[in-house]
A and B are shown apart, each in its own frame.
Chain A
Amino acid sequence: MSTITPTRPPQSGAPSARPAEAAGRVGGGLFDPKQLVKSFPDAMKKLDPRVMVKSPVMFVVLIGSLVTTVLAVKNPGDWFGWAITVWLWLTTIFANLAEAVAEGRGKAQADTLRKAKTDTVARRLIGKNEERVPGTELRIGDLVVCEAGDIIPGDGDVVEGVASVDESAITGESAPVIRESGGDRCAVTGGTKVLSDRIVVKITTKPGETFIDRMINLVEGAARQKTPNEIALNILLASLTIVFLLAVVTLKPFAIYAGADKQTSMIVLTALLVCLIPTTIGALLSAIGIAGMDRLVQRNVLAMSGRAVEAAGDVSTLLLDKTGTITLGNRQASEFAPVAGTTEAELADAAQLSSLADETPEGRSIVVLAKEKYGLRERHQGELAHAEWVEFTAQTRMSGVDLVEDGVERKVRKGATGSVVAWVKERGGSVSEDAQALTDRISQAGGTPLLVALEDDKGARVLGVIHLKDVVKEGMRERFDELRRMGIKTVMITGDNPLTAKAIAEEAGVDDFLAEATPEDKMALIKREQAGGKLVAMTGDGTNDAPALAQADVGVAMNTGTSAAKEAGNMVDLDSNPTKLIEIVEIGKQLLITRGALTTFSIANDVAKYFAIIPAMFAVAYPSLDKLNIMGLASPESAILSAVIFNALIIIALVPLALKGVRYRPSSADSMLRRNLGIYGLGGLVAPFIGIKIIDLLLSLIPGIG
């Protein structure tokens, strides 16, 4: 049987109350235009060439801006040179602004976290004695004491005691959580506050490397490294930049031969180069990456690396724990099955009566079902006179009531099959055959049967069976269908026996299940999937989940879990809501889609820019080339300037999209490609024709240009 720890259902009011998740979709973060102004100083700081060189495309723009500046200074009367220079600088600054805005959103979060990281004083235990040392001096293995009101000085495991802890500093969740020694709830995080009792914590991380430190680094982007796909895209963009650089540099001798030397000044060629190289994606690439991480942070998920977010988009197998992810935490009554000679209504009535003294969630669910399905008003224990209540206990596994109505004594019982059968037989009754048949049917369907029995003047007998079943969370089947359309296989992991597991798996619509799962089984399953080239994502929280979490391509550890689990996974869900795995996958995909969409858009943009700049440069040398001026731009100067301005403004215009991410709806690769190609491919071809024309119209209103 299972040795894995069932994951806990989300605490009430935690993630499910978040609007983004309630909508069930990857929503974007909010974008406030004020952020542009606020991030401006940061954008200026990024003009440092040592920073710029990391983005080859934007580095070329920076060089271009410097070149045109020098030329403009040398020839100060040339308004055109100045205009181009200003807009090239704006292009560079806009790119930095995009990144600064993306980072700025993390900064606010980091500041809140820093407040939690105030210098704490630790009460270190040396033998039996306590000494007070600064939290920063703690070493791994030190034991510290924390009592009600203390801030826990560092990450560690509780080795003694139980306490309720306020973790709102990290999770934003105000309800306190219980931390106790041993088991899977022993991990505590530095910066959180003990609300009651006393615990002894064994420190497990060095100061400066605690969870909060890592969180601060992550949200600030300090620990950000380029992901493999980002590096690959950068290589492609660099190679395109070189191609365009060659195309522009070699154009000069061609132009001299054609007699267009004057029209292809250094300033014009620089403008052409900046228009051609993929500045849009070059400017937004890192903002897209930061925003992707940020979208996870907004959902209270911390990805330890961008690589993990990218891998999430590629995941093709999801391992989902049954309890808490697929089903609600508790079994619920779903059906009253009476034996021959009893009506459903009689059974429901008896079931309700016998469950009133059962305060377990299962008992409550029987009362609720009786009310919802048979309109039986819930009676309260005080309403009935002469009633003797039999409370449910784990030993008797039965609950019920002894009533005297109209002088007749009625005893009603409900409980586990064995207990109720024994109770009936004790009273000389017999268990009818169809009761046995009903019990078997429910067991086979993966449910748990509870018998309802009655003893009155007609003797003791079984009235029928209550079907208790695992209740699959609402909307899970639809989600799994969506995942299937996205090409993702779902595997349910459960400690249940195969029969029960199969029934639930079918009901929930998962593709596969692993019953009576041990950590070893889980590990073997992950390795098997990976051997087939698939990427696997899973959640886990127990120490025994740690190896599997480390093996999985995306391992999401629950924040309530052990430090071992958190260490092994590459993401931590602060809300400890395993259902979020699905959203993580969607965010990963959205990140990649945004990157691809803006790359396509950026490259498609170039076509229109040629139609603006080529006739502007060469119509004098070859009047026939004026036919390429299909936009009918006013003058060569305004044409080139319009292209440059469009090129700069499109960056700012797309910042919100880069931060929010492209709208994502789960669907097959085919329909997604068709949609995105239509919007960003064709749109990228057409949009600049319109944009450049409009800018040209506005520019031509300025006297001296048109």
Chain B
Amino acid sequence: MSPVLAGVLQLLALIAALALSYRPLGDYMARVYSSDKHLRVEKWIYKGIGANPGVEMRWPAYLRGVLAFSAASVLFLYLLQRLQGSLPGSLGFVSIDPDQAFNTAASFVANTNWQSYYGEQAMGHVVQTGGLAVQNFVSAAVGIAVAVALVRGFARSRTGELGNFWADLVRGTVRILLPIAVIGALVLVACGAIQNFAGIHEVGQFMGGSQQWNGGAVASQEVIKELGTNGGGYFNANSAHPFENPNPLSNLFEVYLILVIPFALTRTFGRMVGSLKQGYAILGTMATIWVVFTGLMMWTEFAHNGPAFDLAGGAMEGKETRFGIGGSSIFAVATTLTSTGAVNSFHSSYTGFGGGITMLGMQLGEIAPGGVGSGLYGMLIMAIIAVFIAGLMVGRTPEYLGKKIGTREIKFAACYILITPALVLCFTAVAMALDTPSNSMTNSGAHGFSEILYAYTSGANNNGSAFAGLNADTQWFNSTIGIAMLLGRFLPMVFVLALAGSLAEQKPVPETAGTLRTEKPLFTGLLVGTIMIITGLTYFPALALGPLAEGLAA
């Protein structure tokens, strides 16, 4: 079988698997967030944290919950790393430096999982499993909770109430992420991923000398790393490491885990707003962008000309032979179009265009299908922008899902779309203008610029993948990327929740023949166009000086 055909077949298998789980998972999640029953274990948790899950919250209260919980998480994770040296079960690793501990704490709480450390050389069992893996669950649950709050804003009327944050957080963790993670971990173990609490092994190498191999609860962390679109690897090599991602089957399964919840949430959305078709329209938009990006990525990576590339069947530098170009391209696009940031190959080694595709994927705001929860709310914000412009063209003031998009709504949406471009461009510009940060580049020219642009793109958009090549463990990068991650995660949430509150207060506008039909393919096309043009225009100059200059030169 040719590598191209293998890649296409893998993509088709992936689409089939995602399609199979779309309805049951989407409907199940809608039930989880609509039910008023509490599991016994959930009641224990509520009692433990002193929350009353029955209280409806307006948006400021909901936001306070999100921010308070996340702030406590950052602090806890920071202290855990700072105290690692004195904690048992740390494999003898020392405490982490303040700047790196801040960066890592911010990174995992912001669902980014940017890692400026080498997992196997810095983090012991306690931090990995007791701190990082826990955040992999709850930061994902926070994302879904905020998305569900926005969906409730559309679904509810004449109330400002968006649900209960604590109930949404706990349910997302207990009823959605945990059960899937348990099954997923077993599958990964069956594929050959490791799961133990063994220590460090000295292993002899074929060519002489020795190297260290760590054991650890890898499969359990690997599964939530993908499922929660987190991306922080147990090992530095991330999903390229055979202990994390042993074979093509586990590779495809991991991509499936990355995409399954973000896609299925569009069904949940359709269910909760009472129109599955609206959910399909959003799904259609996400799927279109995802498939086109994957196709382009395979095309640019396979088509790369030159004798060495021809021998390898394409641009194989930085890719694992067991995944090939197909498996690597599919993974790279999935991880950057979601907020995952796990990697099974080195994005820096992709062709100029390939690197550009990974960057553009993140710069779109990670909405196709995006991070768990954040993908849905990011896409709904873009839908609001598209509706605002296009809605006028049908001769009515814009409305979406029966809610008017007025001054308040557009204010929040406009602020939302400002944040990440501002963070990415400003931090990159300052880093380029200063002397010290640019010393971290390993390459010169356009590729060197791409390294820094990629770092801030990844941080501010909560992706967490690295372009490789950049030495990011400096005080400058640890601090600025840490700030970019926190602001890039939580400022948008402020506007999403404010928007949700404003929508929930409105009374619904009935649909008539004069209403813009947002469930039609025409709208899907319009939404894709709006996303590509607005993001494209924002980042075109920066991309031109990095990946485009490189790609066009080839």
Contact = CB atoms under 8 A, between A and B. Distances in A.
A419 B552 CA distance: 96
B538 A593 contact: no
Contacts of A255: 545
Given A254-B428, A674-B522, A668 B552 contact: no
B281 to A, nearest CB: 13
Interface of A: 228-229, 231-233, 235-236, 238-240, 242-244, 246-258, 276, 310, 313-314, 316, 484-489, 531-534, 588-590, 592-593, 595-597, 599-600, 603-604, 606-607, 610, 614, 618, 621-625, 627-628, 664, 668-670, 672-674, 676-677, 680-681
Interface string B20-62: 0000000000000000000000000000000000000000000
A596 B393 contact: yes
Contacts of B428: 250, 254
Nearest to A589: B395
A614 B541 contact: yes
Contacts of B402: 533
A606 B537 CA distance: 7
B513 A485 contact: yes
A242 B418 contact: yes
A277 to B, nearest CB: 10
B397 A313 contact: yes
B446 interface: yes
B517 A235 contact: no
Given A610-B537, A672-B394, A235 B389 contact: no
Given A534-B510, A625-B549, A314 B396 contact: yes
B166 interface: no
A315 to B, nearest CB: 9
B545 A618 contact: yes
Interface stretch (B113-121, B207-215, B419-427): B419-427
Contacts of B449: 254, 257-258
Contacts of B544: 614, 618, 625, 628
A487 B515 contact: yes
A253 B429 contact: yes
A581 to B, nearest CB: 16
Q: Interface majority SS on B: helix, strand, loop or mixed?
A: helix
A249 B429 contact: yes
Interface stretch (B72-80, B264-272, B407-415): B407-415
Given A592-B395, A669-B516, A254 B429 contact: yes
Contacts of A669: 394-396, 513-517
A509 B331 CA distance: 59
A493 to B, nearest CB: 20
A258 B395 contact: no
- Chain B CB count within 10 A is highest, among A593, A603, A624, for A624
B484 to A, nearest CB: 14
A560 B395 CA distance: 31
Contact of A254 (B392, B395, B542, B548): B542
Contacts of B228: none
Contacts of B430: 253
Contacts of B422: 242-243, 246
A304 B550 CA distance: 59
B514 A238 contact: no
A607 B529 CA distance: 12
A243 B509 contact: no
A561 B429 CA distance: 65
A533 B507 CA distance: 6
B514 A614 contact: no
A423 B458 CA distance: 97
Nearest to B413: A236
Contact of A673 (B385, B390, B417, B549): B390
Given A603-B533, A618-B544, A627 B509 contact: no
B contact residues, range: 35 or more
Contacts of B432: 253-254, 256-257
B50 to A, nearest CB: 40
A673 B522 CA distance: 9
B438 interface: yes
Sorted nearest first, the 6 A-B pairs with minimum C-beta distance are A596-B392, A487-B514, A487-B512, A589-B395, A239-B414, A250-B429
A306 B510 CA distance: 24
A592 B429 contact: no
Given A247-B425, A250-B428, 15 more contacts: A233-B392, A236-B414, A247-B421, A248-B541, A313-B395, A487-B515, A596-B393, A599-B392, A604-B533, A618-B545, A622-B545, A625-B552, A673-B526, A677-B526, A681-B526
Nearest to A668: B513
A250 B426 contact: yes
Given A251-B542, A254-B545, A607-B537, A246 B421 contact: yes
B65 interface: no
Contact of B552 (A488, A603, A610, A624): A624
Given A235-B407, A249-B429, A614 B540 contact: yes
A482 to B, nearest CB: 11
B410 A676 contact: no
B529 A313 contact: no
Contacts of B398: 229
16 contacts: A235-B414, A243-B418, A247-B421, A248-B541, A252-B429, A254-B545, A257-B449, A533-B508, A533-B510, A593-B392, A593-B393, A596-B390, A607-B537, A621-B545, A664-B395, A680-B393
A239 B446 contact: no
B512 A488 contact: yes
Contact of A276 (B391, B405, B411, B537): B537
A250 B425 contact: yes
B395 A310 contact: no
A526 B430 CA distance: 59
Contacts of A664: 395
A672 B509 CA distance: 20
Contacts of B414: 235-236, 238-239
Contacts of B311: none
A365 to B, nearest CB: 37
Interface in B489-548: 507-510, 512-517, 520, 522, 526, 529, 533-534, 536-542, 544-545, 548
B433 interface: yes
A590 B395 CA distance: 6
A592 B396 contact: yes
Contacts of B538: 243-244, 247
A310 B526 contact: no
Contact of A670 (B385, B405, B520): B520
Contacts of B385: 236
- Chain A CB count within 10 A is highest, among B402, B406, B438, B529, for B529
A625 B548 contact: yes
Contacts of A231: 407
B553 interface: yes
Given A533-B509, A592-B396, A622 B553 contact: yes
Given A238-B414, A257-B432, A232 B407 contact: yes
Contacts of B406: 228-229, 232
B290 interface: no
B393 to A, nearest CB: 4
A248 B429 CA distance: 11
Contacts of A236: 385, 388-389, 410, 413-414
A370 to B, nearest CB: 44
Interface string B268-301: 0000000000000000000000000000000000
Nearest to A259: B445
A313 B396 contact: yes
A618 B515 CA distance: 45
A192 B411 CA distance: 47
Contacts of A618: 544-545, 549
A671 to B, nearest CB: 9
Contact of A681 (B517, B529, B540): B529
A599 B391 CA distance: 11
B435 to A, nearest CB: 12
A314 B516 CA distance: 12
A236 B522 CA distance: 23
